[in-house]
């Protein structure tokens, strides 16, 4: 309206026969001043109309509220030069409105939504007792305003609490996604899903995309895909990358691949989109699509070699012919160098050990090896085989499908089972490659020999008791589905359960893993180290390495203590049977805790 009024003098100026470029009336400042003057005059005219109507109907709260809302439209403008006057008018209008109609819900909520920060929290909290008698939509608006106020002050807990209340009162509340994230973070994922599914379909596609992406990020299973299908059925156009993420999370890799748009020559694509395209192609087993995505990433991302090398490893197992493209030579070299480094690193660790052994021999201070027939080369070989297999097999079977950063949420619903399969293969290959060393080890040293004493088992028993109590506390007080990302060994337990049930999980994690790990770390590593250094140093060294290969910073100290304890038992009993049993009991406690959560 104001713009139309402002254009009338301009039009007449151009129509004037005396109008020339040199005419001062045609300068930008003069024209802008005419627009401002015309719009201000019309603004005042409309305000006067409101004032006249209010004098006739002094008790009409809706009319008084509309007057303030009209002023607010101009008090926030960045284009007009008279916004300060509109702001002054708005302040006076809101003050009068609050004094006269402050008890009415629509007025109280309007004033609250114009307040921010701690002042909004105080004002909104004071309204809560009165709101008990308000209509549901008004109560929802109150809780939504409080949720936004708490969110602005970084109080996530209260923000989420009020957002949930708003969503339960009005499913299409603007703070719906805040409520969903809060419920998911506190373990109430079923309730969060229900809120999303109960909410009316939004009219705007970007709102639908936001809901699907939120479901993907915080809710497991098929919620994101179910929302996607619902939005598509309503006729909304969903972003193809959002569609692909939702379908991939639900396990429909083929559908996710179909959802992605074709790559057009020279078409811009973000690094995140390229990574998604690659993950989808690998999950769908489409070698050509995966190869194309890897080539595209190589062209655009020069500092992303290692994750791409992991993906390339999976491509080698999917489509070896596609993987032989010359552009992938650098990735193949990266894998070869990584594997070589992992295989040689244990050997480098043995050099200082050999030096210590040489010095001790010259000083006539020989050491007593824990196990006969096991030397430093067996220590290197056992550790090299274990580290190389536990790295290479998951990389070639899973690759970049597994998130590379801690805390990331896997996209594939079947990731746990795939990780469990990779672990079974790893255990089998490690056992096969170490079969010769097992024969060298000798069967007599598996059960152990000599006289055992009860007091040797007091500390191990106490350590297992502490582990059991800790697991019980965690299982009892942990919130199911909490925001903390699960450890990989937790995902492994769930994957083993998916493959063969709880008993298979116990068999793999509490039987097979202890046997392999005890032979590698206490049999080969500790046995080899003790030929060249004191038992105390050798035991500490193998315990630290044992803890390091578990990649669990939260429980690193426990792994060190546990590894040192089982190493000490191996020496005392002259065998691996007792360490294996202790290890098996500890892992059984862990499996039971994970499956009971």
Give me the phi and psi of 525, to 5 degrees please: -65, -55
Query: Considering the entire predicted model, what is its pTM?
Result: 0.74
The confidence score (pLDDT) of residue 557 equals 95
Could you report the per-residue pLDDT of 400-440, keeping only the tens digit for each?
444 433 334 444 556 788 889 999 999 999 999 999 999 88
DSSP per residue over 438-474, as a string?
A: HHHH-GGGTT--S---GGGGHHHHHHHHHHHHHHHHH
According to DSSP, residue 109 is labeled H
DSSP per residue over 279-335, as a string?
A: HHHHHHT-HHHHHHHHHHHHHH-TT-HHHHHHHHHHHHHH-HHHHT-GGGHHHHHHH
Cα–Cα distance measured from residue 190 to residue 166, given in angstroms and rounded to the nearest whole number:
18
The confidence score (pLDDT) of residue 23 equals 59
Cα–Cα distance measured from residue 227 to residue 232, given in angstroms and rounded to the nearest whole number:
9
Cα–Cα distance measured from residue 575 to residue 543, given in angstroms and rounded to the nearest whole number:
17
Cα–Cα distance measured from residue 303 to residue 33, given in angstroms and rounded to the nearest whole number:
54
Say if residue 558 is exposed, middle or buried (CB neighbours under 10 Å; 0-12, 13-18, 19+).
middle
Interior angle at CA 527, CA 526 and CA 530, nearest 5: 80
The confidence score (pLDDT) of residue 319 equals 92
Could you report the per-residue pLDDT of 494-513, keeping only the tens digit for each?
999 989 999 999 999 999 99
The confidence score (pLDDT) of residue 267 equals 66
The confidence score (pLDDT) of residue 373 equals 85
Query: Can you tell me which residue has the tokens 């990731």?
Result: 415
Number of H helices, E strands in the chain: 30, 0
Q: Count the Cβ atoms, other than its own, within 10 Å of residue 531.
A: 21
Could you report the per-residue pLDDT of 108-148, keeping only the tens digit for each?
888 888 888 888 899 889 889 988 889 999 999 999 999 99
- Is 231 in contact with 199 (CB distance < 8 Å)? no
The confidence score (pLDDT) of residue 408 equals 41
Give me the average pLDDT of each 10-residue run along the chain (597 residues). 39 43 64 83 92 91 90 82 87 88 87 85 89 90 92 93 94 95 92 94 94 93 93 94 93 92 74 89 91 88 80 91 92 92 88 86 83 90 94 81 41 72 94 92 87 93 92 69 60 90 94 96 94 93 94 90 96 95 95 87
- Is 409 in contact with 484 (CB distance < 8 Å)? no
Say if residue 508 is exposed, middle or buried (CB neighbours under 10 Å; 0-12, 13-18, 19+).
buried
Cα–Cα distance measured from residue 589 to residue 594, given in angstroms and rounded to the nearest whole number:
9
Could you tell me where the beta strands, DSSP code E, fall in 528-594?
none
In 57-104, alpha helices (H): 61-75, 83-101
The confidence score (pLDDT) of residue 438 equals 92
According to DSSP, residue 261 is labeled P
- Is 239 in contact with 276 (CB distance < 8 Å)? no
Domain boundaries, the chain: 269-362, 367-596
């Amino acid at each position: 309206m104001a713009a139309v009024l402002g254009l009338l003098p301009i039009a007449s100026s151009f129509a004037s026969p005396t109008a020339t470029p040199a005419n001062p009336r045609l300068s930008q400042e003069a024209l802008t001043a005419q627009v401002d003057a015309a719009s201000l005059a019309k603004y005042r005219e409309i305000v006067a109309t409101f004032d006249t109507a209010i004098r006739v109907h002094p008790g009409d709260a809706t009319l008084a509220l509309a007057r303030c809302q009209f002023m607010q439209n101009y008090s926030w403008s960045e284009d007009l030069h008279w916004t300060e006057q509109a702001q002054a008018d708005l302040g006076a209008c809101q003050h009068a409105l609050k004094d006269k109609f402050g008890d009415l819900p629509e007025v109280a909520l309007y004033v609250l939504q114009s307040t921010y920060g701690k002042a909004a929290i105080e004002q909104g909290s004071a309204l809560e007792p009165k709101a008990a008698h308000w209509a549901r939509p008004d109560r929802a608006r109150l809780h939504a305003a409080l949720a936004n106020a708490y969110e602005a002050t970084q109080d996530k807990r209260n923000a989420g609490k009020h957002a949930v209340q708003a969503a339960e009162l009005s499913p299409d509340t603007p703070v719906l996604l805040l409520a969903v994230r809060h419920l998911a973070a506190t373990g109430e994922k079923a309730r969060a899903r229900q809120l999303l599914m109960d909410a009316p379909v939004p009219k705007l596609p970007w709102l639908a995309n936001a809901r699907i992406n939120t479901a993907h990020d915080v809710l497991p299973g098929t919620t994101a895909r179910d929302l996607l299908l619902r939005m598509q059925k309503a006729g909304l156009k969903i972003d193809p990358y959002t569609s692909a993420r939702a379908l991939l999370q639900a396990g429909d890799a083929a559908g996710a691949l179909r959802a992605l748009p074709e790559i057009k020559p020279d078409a811009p694509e973000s690094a995140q989109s390229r990574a998604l395209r690659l993950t989808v192609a690998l999950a769908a087993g489409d070698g050509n699509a995966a190869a194309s995505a890897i080539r595209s990433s190589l062209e655009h991302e020069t500092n992303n070699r290692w994750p791409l090398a992991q993906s390339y490893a999976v491509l080698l197992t999917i489509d070896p012919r596609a993987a032989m493209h010359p552009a992938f030579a650098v990735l193949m070299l990266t894998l070869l160098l990584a594997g070589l480094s992992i295989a040689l690193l244990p050997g480098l660790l043995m050099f200082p050990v050999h030096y210590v052994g040489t010095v001790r021999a010259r000083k006539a201070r020989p050491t007593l090896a824990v196990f006969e027939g096991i030397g430093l080369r067996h220590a290197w070989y056992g550790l090299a085989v274990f580290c190389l297999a536990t790295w290479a097999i998951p990389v070639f079977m899973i690759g970049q499908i597994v998130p590379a950063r801690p805390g990331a949420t896997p996209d594939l619903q079947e990731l746990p089972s795939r990780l469990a399969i990779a672990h079974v293969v790893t255990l089998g290959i490690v056992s096969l490659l170490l079969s010769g060393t097992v024969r060298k080890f000798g069967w007599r040293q598996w059960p152990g020999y000599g006289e055992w004493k009860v007091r040797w088992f007091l500390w191990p028993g106490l350590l297992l008791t502490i582990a059991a109590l800790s697991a019980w506390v965690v299982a009892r007080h942990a919130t199911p589905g909490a925001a903390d990302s699960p450890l990989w060994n937790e995902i492994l337990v769930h994957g083993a359960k998916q493959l063969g049930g709880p008993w298979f999980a116990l068999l793999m994690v509490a039987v097979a893993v202890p046997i392999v790990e005890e032979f590698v770390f206490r049999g080969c590593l500790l046995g080899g180290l003790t030929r060249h250094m004191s038992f105390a140093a050798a035991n500490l060294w193998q315990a630290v390495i044992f803890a390091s290969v578990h990649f669990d910073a939260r429980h690193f100290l426990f792994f060190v203590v546990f590894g040192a304890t089982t190493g000490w038992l191996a020496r005392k009993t002259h065998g691996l049977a007792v360490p294996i049993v202790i290890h098996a009991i500890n892992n059984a406690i862990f499996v039971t805790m994970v499956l009971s959560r």
